[in-house]
A and B are shown apart, each in its own frame.
Chain A
């Protein structure tokens, strides 16, 4: 999947996460900037959830900004997938 434009999914409501996706130059890789109230405890886990979806959708170069509001894995993955698909123009 090719990321061709900026896109967003999710919200800043409790239990949600706001994912913003931007195209990146080839070779940049997957860049994730994360903000979360529980970054110490769950930061790595959230990054992994995001990365799993990015890899499943075969996106190689992308910039992702994630603002977490206490979301669970199913939500993180859904919001990431939605943002990526929107950014690919699907």
Chain B
């Protein structure tokens, strides 16, 4: 077992990442319009969406976009190429000085992967006199070995969110990719648990059929019910549907408001246990209520 962090003071990364939109890193038209779509987070991709003979072009384009374009409050991240590829070092060397909010590390398989990337980022941050530790690492779990090591991976430095790479993962374990994603249930639960234990976010895999918004809505609701805090998406048309799935119902909002109000009053009056509508309210219930209100407020 890893050096599991039981540090309850470790501050939770509260950033909203309901939608993480992939943008091909060699497409200037999409890149410069990316912030107007309304996704919580952007991923400029240097990996799968970039042809081998265009890796250099995408790397320079993404670097310049990060240095020049204004993305407002939107989180801007870059999916670099995996550690074992010859592009990894070049990606890191060009992208880190341009100060993205985070680096997505595809095919993460162990804590050692995270430590290696952290070391590289730190070295470049120091070299360029940047604040050390600000750039986050967001591993993507895409292999069976990655799943088996996810509890360790989640403890790594800079790790803010872990993504599930459903397509590669299904291929790696020899499962069939189904529409309802039942083959990924155990894996999803394991990633969610590892993230929750380390106060970081679990992000669900992409839904490939961009024409099936009803299907997208249904799988997103299921993902939220399981504990995922965001979903990776591949097209701007998916944003609204995913955000709708994350939007709590009026009843949920009203109940959450009651709970938070009652809790605050009880603190003020120095009371212990409280009840709302005949049900006992304790801290986890208040935390869940606050999460609901935060999601509601995001709209």
Q: Which residues of B are found within 8 Å of A85, using beta-carbon distances?
A: 56
Contact A71 B60 (CB under 8 A): no
* CA of A35 to CA of B33, assembled, Å: 24
Contact B29 A15 (CB under 8 A): yes
CB-CB contacts of A47-82 with B at 8 A, as 1s and 0s? 000000000000000000000000111110111011
Q: Which residues of A are found within 8 Å of B56, using beta-carbon distances?
A: 82, 85-86
Residue with the greatest number of chain B CB neighbours at <10 A, chosen from A15, A73, A74: A74
Interface hit among B62-70, B109-117, B206-214, B266-274: B62-70
Question: What is the distance, in angstroms, from A21's C-beta to the closest C-beta of chain B?
Answer: 13
* CA of A85 to CA of B277, assembled, Å: 68
Q: Which residues of B are found within 8 Å of A41, using beta-carbon distances?
A: none
Query: Could you say which interface size class chain A belongs to?
Result: 10 to 19
A10-B57, A75-B64, A81-B60 given as contacts; is B32 within 8 A of A16 (CB)? no
Contact B64 A74 (CB under 8 A): yes
From the candidates A15, A74, A75, A82, name the one contacting B67 in the complex (CB within 8 A): A74
From the candidates B27, B32, B64, B69, name the one contacting A77 in the complex (CB within 8 A): B64
CB-CB contacts of B31-51 with A at 8 A, as 1s and 0s? 010000000000000000000
Contact A78 B29 (CB under 8 A): no
Residue with the greatest number of chain B CB neighbours at <10 A, chosen from A10, A13, A82, A85: A82
* CA of A82 to CA of B64, assembled, Å: 12
* CA of A15 to CA of B27, assembled, Å: 9
Question: What is the distance, in angstroms, from B187's C-beta to the closest C-beta of chain A?
Answer: 38
Residue with the greatest number of chain B CB neighbours at <10 A, chosen from A16, A75, A77, A79: A75
* CA of A73 to CA of B28, assembled, Å: 11
SS of A interface (majority)? helix
Q: Which residues of A are found within 8 Å of B67, using beta-carbon distances?
A: 74
- Interface residue? B296 (CB, 8 A): no
* CA of A15 to CA of B34, assembled, Å: 13
SS of B interface (majority)? helix
Query: Which residue of A is nearest B67, CB measured?
Result: A74
- Interface residue? B61 (CB, 8 A): yes
CB-CB contacts of B62-103 with A at 8 A, as 1s and 0s? 011101110000000000000000000000000000000000
* CA of A66 to CA of B151, assembled, Å: 51
Contact A82 B29 (CB under 8 A): no
Contact A75 B57 (CB under 8 A): no
Contact A9 B29 (CB under 8 A): no
Q: Which residues of A are found within 8 Å of B32, using beta-carbon distances?
A: 15, 72, 74-75
On B, residues with C-beta under 8 Å from A are 27-29, 32, 56-57, 60-61, 63-65, 67-69
Q: Can you spell out 25 A-B residue pairs with CB atoms less than 8 angstroms apart?
A: A10-B57, A14-B29, A15-B28, A15-B29, A15-B32, A71-B28, A72-B28, A72-B68, A72-B69, A74-B61, A74-B64, A74-B65, A74-B68, A74-B69, A75-B32, A75-B61, A75-B64, A78-B60, A78-B64, A79-B57, A79-B60, A81-B60, A82-B57, A82-B60, A85-B56
The 7 closest A-B pairs by CB, nearest first: A15-B29, A74-B64, A74-B68, A78-B60, A78-B61, A75-B28, A78-B64
Q: What 12 new A-B contacts, CB under 8 Å, besides A74-B69, A78-B65, A79-B61?
A: A10-B57, A14-B29, A15-B28, A15-B29, A15-B32, A71-B28, A73-B68, A74-B32, A78-B64, A81-B60, A82-B56, A82-B61
On A, residues with C-beta under 8 Å from B are 9-10, 13-16, 71-75, 77-79, 81-82, 85-86
